Structure 1
Amino acid sequence: MTKKLHAGMIISAGRFSRSDVADGTGYVAIEKKYNHIKSILTLIISLMTLTGWAQQSANRELIVHNDPAKYRELSAVHAGAGKMGFTQLVGRNDLSTNFLYLHSGVIQAKSGIGHHFHHSIEEMYVLLEGEAEFTVNGRTSTLKAPVAVPCKLGDAHAIYNSSDESVRWLNYAVSEKKGRGDAFDLDDTREGAEIDEIPVFVTYQFAEDKLRDENHPYSGNGALARRAFGPEVFRTSWNHVDHLVIPAGKSVGPRQLIGVEEVYYVMKGKGDLSIEGVTKPLAADDAFTGLLGETITLTNTGSDNLELLVIGVSVSSDKNASFQNAPAEPKAMALQMDFVVLPENAEAFEKMYHSIYVPAMTVQQGYLSSKLLRLFPEEQAKGIEAEPTNFNYQIQISFDTEENRRKWVASPQHQIAWPAASELAEEFKWRGYDVMGDDDQR
């Protein structure tokens, strides 16, 4: 448990009771009375989750090998045909982001994964060896390895191996909410499906001759790369799918992961992986992860190309957010208003916020958002070692500029909304802030 100090630009600060206003002294006298009072807001936040990930980073097994000897046999997967071998290489608890799993398997001849939906996760099927029939939303095409097909949110999808030989397959998934998944089977094996010669869905063929030696994020000593899929392809926090090749004697990094976590799969070759000063050898069919803030270096120690598939998942729902540079100017402003509301007025105060205060602000120029906060009950507050306070409600409002907030204060709607709030409170105060950063995960 750590206390973190937050400070903002105080535009006004005061503490007023209803009697102060009613006795005719006015705000000027009150402001003089409290002219030397400066408040610093101290928030107690829990770092238990972050600490847990830090411990995991230090103690985890860095590299997981995709070993077919460890596969378990599955039948009729999503009501599909035949059998497949299956294992999980990376799971939902291995990263702090919404990455759900990396599965690997061998799909037997005349076998597959049946046509099905997911409504809260996005997957990507990768064929490593062989040839298979991919279906997206009832349209089927035959694709040869190595190839990747994203199964976007809400798209029905399937894969069927119509050949007489087994094929090797990977499946990546990212969920809308961490650790959650779902499936709805269509009881359709896709055996004998009509084949479109040209796919009518998104695919990526792993072709080394299309890789570039510049204008990619894998700077270092001679790496080749191509972005197969960017964030616009996905609706979850899936940020990128990259194809990376490091020629013999070349390297990538050191490269720090800012704003994303990554899952790597070695398609061919061998090399060394260095994460936070720990170096391990890599070989084909190894998988490993890079966690938020970690610094990664990859070196090709073999005589052939080291080829990798890199999946990136954003830590924020805003996949295009800039995580490296703090803004030079405020992004917005925020006003924090604290209230003492008696128990008998609590229900009316909460209804007032929803029925009067918010509707009055939504029509204002530059209005961005607001929140109504109710203080934890006493025992719960003690449990988190909260700072003692007499104020039990808080309204936070945000406008794009302080100028527009002042226009709101001068508006006819404010003349209705503010009395509706203040008359239900025994005491109130406020302070204002410049917003220098935010992370809205909605």
Structure 2
Amino acid sequence: MRSAVVIADTTAPADVHGVHGAAGITQWTCLARRAGLAGDWEAVEWARIPAGGISGEHLHTRTREVYVLLTGEGEVTLDGRPHAVRAGDAVLTAVGTRHGLRNTGDGPLEWLVIELPAEPPTEPPADRTVPGPFGSTVVRDLRRTGPLDPSAVIGGPLRLLRHVELTTGEREFLIADGVEHTAFVLGGHGRAGAGNVRMPLRPGTALTLPLGTAADLAAGPGGLAYLHAELVPQGGGLRGRGRQGGGPR
């Protein structure tokens, strides 16, 4: 049976109490999970905490994790060291390291989570503050940094993370040929086509493309901005994108 593009959004999140032992409520939505995907994904998730909220500090014993801050500002603790973060920043956490997140702003703090299973390291790194295999780091403002290869820091199959902006009428084709994709709309509006299906794109919409699928993303009036990640399944290549009207910004 041919796989289908997974479409989800953040309009009806669950309230989760005491995430990682912290007091308070986290709003949470699972946008995609490993079922139906060929790649080594654990899940793609969205989360939000209110002003003063905390996502408790915890040790990663079996997963790698990428946070991308969507709104607000906060403080992430990486292996005991605090780092100020804000919308647009990415936090990369390898297996065997520890992190937590606190909202230091006046409004909600929202972030996207890409979680990947991993074998526990045979030994901890000598200095976890240095980006590298089994390390953790904060990448400042993906919009300015440009495309990022998370595997250079945390290892694993997630090979691309980038901020994309399409101008009015501009289109990008995502083809899951040798790679799988997830795209999360950050701003603007547009439409996506997948086979005979047409769907609106608005902030909070997520599309995940299993192997063998494709989607055509088109920006509406005012443009379209989204976060795009590519994962290479075992034995996969690095194909799967095409753009009309320019390159990534």
TM-score for both structures, normalised by structure 2? 0.80
Counterpart pick for 1:113 among 55, 70, 82:
55
Q: Who is 2:245 aligned against?
A: none
Q: Does 1:238 align with 2:174?
A: no
Q: Is the 8 A contact 1:153 1:235 kept in 2?
A: no
In structure 2, the CA distance between the partners of 1:315 and 1:281, relative to structure 1 (3 Å rule), is same
Q: Who is 1:309 aligned against?
A: 227
Alpha-carbon separation, structure 2, partners of 1:260 and 1:114: 33
Residue aligned with 1:258, SS: coil
Alpha-carbon separation, structure 1, partners of 2:73 and 2:162: 22
Q: Does 1:132 align with 2:59?
A: no
Q: Who is 2:43 aligned against?
A: 101
Q: Is the 8 A contact 2:142 2:162 kept in 1?
A: no
Q: Does 1:203 align with 2:114?
A: no
Alpha-carbon separation, structure 1, partners of 2:68 and 2:170: 26
Q: Is the 8 A contact 1:176 1:237 kept in 2?
A: no
- Give the AA of the match of 2:74: A
Query: When you count strand as a share of all residues, which structure comes out higher?
Result: 2
Identity of aligned residues (%): 24
Alpha-carbon separation, structure 1, partners of 2:195 and 2:154: 30
Residue aligned with 2:29, SS: strand
- The residue correspondences of 1:81-92 to structure 2 (distance < 5 A) are 81-92=23-34
- The residue correspondences of 1:329-344 to structure 2 (distance < 5 A) are none
In structure 2, the CA distance between the partners of 1:284 and 1:163, relative to structure 1 (3 Å rule), is closer
Q: Is the 8 A contact 2:66 2:93 kept in 1?
A: yes
- Give the AA of the match of 1:159: L
TM-fit CA distance, 1:247: 0.9
Counterpart pick for 2:190 among 234, 247, 271:
271
TM-fit CA distance, 1:285: 1.0
Residue aligned with 1:281, SS: strand
Alpha-carbon separation, structure 1, partners of 2:66 and 2:77: 12
- The residue correspondences of 1:342-361 to structure 2 (distance < 5 A) are none
Alpha-carbon separation, structure 2, partners of 1:265 and 1:322: 20
Alpha-carbon separation, structure 2, partners of 1:77 and 1:98: 24
Residue aligned with 1:98, SS: coil
In structure 2, the CA distance between the partners of 1:249 and 1:323, relative to structure 1 (3 Å rule), is closer
- What's the CA shift string for 1:120-172, capped at 9, x where partnerless? 21111122111110111111111121222111222211101134432222211
Alpha-carbon separation, structure 1, partners of 2:239 and 2:225: 28
Higher relative contact order (CA 8 A, sep 6+): 2
Alpha-carbon separation, structure 1, partners of 2:57 and 2:202: 34
- Give the AA of the match of 1:229: D
TM-fit CA distance, 1:206: 3.5
Q: Which has the larger radius of gyration?
A: 1
Alpha-carbon separation, structure 1, partners of 2:108 and 2:57: 19
- Give the AA of the match of 2:115: A
- What's the CA shift string for 1:188-233, capped at 9, x where partnerless? xxxxxxxxxxxx92314133xx48xxxxxxxxxxxxxx31234323
Counterpart pick for 2:181 among 245, 248, 262:
262
Alpha-carbon separation, structure 2, partners of 1:287 and 1:133: 26
- The residue correspondences of 1:224-235 to structure 2 (distance < 5 A) are 226-235=146-155
Alpha-carbon separation, structure 2, partners of 1:231 and 1:274: 30
Counterpart pick for 1:78 among 20, 33, 43:
20
Q: Does 1:65 align with 2:1?
A: no
Give the length in aligned residue pairs. Answer: 225
Structure 1: unaligned runs, 5 residues or longer: 1-50, 182-199, 212-225, 325-442
TM-fit CA distance, 1:101: 1.2
Structure 2: unaligned runs, 5 residues or longer: 121-135, 241-249
TM-fit CA distance, 1:288: 0.9
TM-fit CA distance, 1:94: 4.2
Residue aligned with 1:85, SS: strand
Alpha-carbon separation, structure 2, partners of 1:93 and 1:140: 35
- The residue correspondences of 1:176-195 to structure 2 (distance < 5 A) are 176=118
Residue aligned with 1:150, SS: strand
In structure 2, the CA distance between the partners of 1:259 and 1:176, relative to structure 1 (3 Å rule), is farther
- What's the CA shift string for 1:77-135, capped at 9, x where partnerless? 11224322122121221422121112212202222111112222111112211111011
Q: Who is 2:218 aligned against?
A: 299
Q: Does 1:151 align with 2:93?
A: yes
Query: When you count helix as a share of all residues, which structure comes out higher?
Result: 1
TM-score for both structures, normalised by structure 1? 0.47
Residue aligned with 1:233, SS: helix
Moved over 4 A (4+): 321-324
Question: What RMSD, in angstroms, separates the aligned Cα atoms of the two structures?
Answer: 2.5
- Give the AA of the match of 1:231: S
Q: Is the 8 A contact 1:228 1:243 kept in 2?
A: no
Alpha-carbon separation, structure 2, partners of 1:136 and 1:97: 27
Alpha-carbon separation, structure 1, partners of 2:161 and 2:153: 10
Q: Is the 8 A contact 2:232 2:238 kept in 1?
A: no
Q: Is the 8 A contact 2:149 2:158 kept in 1?
A: no
Alpha-carbon separation, structure 2, partners of 1:294 and 1:89: 17
